[in-house]
């Protein structure tokens, strides 16, 4: 399978830079697949599960937040606010943060606080889903 160069960058870390056989990114239109020699494009990334496979056959998952993806000349750039590998996610901390966000939503504070709590809740639910998906797949291989 042909590969292309990908850079998956978060505000505070580099998740991955290197060759990639395929990349699946969560977008406003659903999961969007990218292969080598994909046509040039730009799209919004939404919180969700990002997956990719490196030429050595390793499939990788990550929980990503909002951002954008750009494909140009067989190179892909993914810029997101946050990106975490499932093994880096503390499920208990994510559950606590989700519970706190739910409580903040119920408090009916200012519109800005409400929107912030909604974004936090979406992020934590996404982190938990990616962690659960990863744990399920690791359990099948044991």
Range of the domain at 103: 88-141
Place of tokens 């989700």: 98
pLDDT digits (tens, 9 = 90+) for 71-115: 999 999 999 999 999 888 888 888 888 888 888 888 867 888 888
Q: pTM of this prediction? A: 0.78
The residue with greater pLDDT, 68 or 120, is: 68
Within 10 Å of residue 35's Cβ, how many Cβ atoms? 13
Output phi, psi for 25, to 5 deg: -120, 135
Selection from 95, 96, 105 nearest residue 128 by Cα: 95
Split into its structural domains, the chain has a count of 2
pLDDT of 142 reads 44
Give the model's confidence band at 140: pLDDT under 50 very low, under 70 low, under 90 confident, else very high: low
- Res 9 pLDDT > 90: yes
Could you tell me if 70 and 112 lie in one domain?
Answer: no
CATH number at residue 22: 2.60.15.10
Pairing of strands 41-45, 14-20: unpaired
Average pLDDT over residues 123-133: 83
Could you tell me if 49 and 114 lie in one domain?
Answer: no
pLDDT of 130 reads 85
Within 10 Å of residue 121's Cβ, how many Cβ atoms? 19
pLDDT of 3 reads 94
d(CA 142, CA 21): 26
Could you tell me if 78 and 18 lie in one domain?
Answer: yes
Selection from 13, 16, 78 nearest residue 41 by Cα: 78
pLDDT digits (tens, 9 = 90+) for 10-51: 999 999 999 999 999 999 889 999 999 999 999 999 999 999
């Amino acid at each position: 399978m042909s590969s292309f160069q990908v850079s998956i960058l978060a505000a505070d870390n580099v998740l991955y830079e290197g060759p990639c056989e395929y990349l699946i990114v969560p977008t406003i239109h659903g999961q969007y697949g990218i292969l080598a020699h994909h046509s040039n494009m730009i799209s919004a990334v939404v919180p969700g599960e990002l997956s990719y496979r490196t030429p050595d056959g390793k499939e990788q998952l990550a929980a990503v937040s909002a951002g954008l993806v750009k494909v140009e000349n067989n190179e892909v750039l993914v810029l997101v606010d946050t990106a975490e590998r499932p093994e880096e996610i503390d499920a208990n901390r994510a559950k606590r943060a989700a519970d706190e966000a739910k409580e903040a939503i119920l408090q009916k504070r200012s519109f800005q606080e409400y929107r912030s709590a909604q974004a936090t809740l979406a992020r934590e639910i996404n982190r938990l889903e990616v962690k659960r998906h990863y744990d399920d797949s690791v359990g099948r291989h044991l």
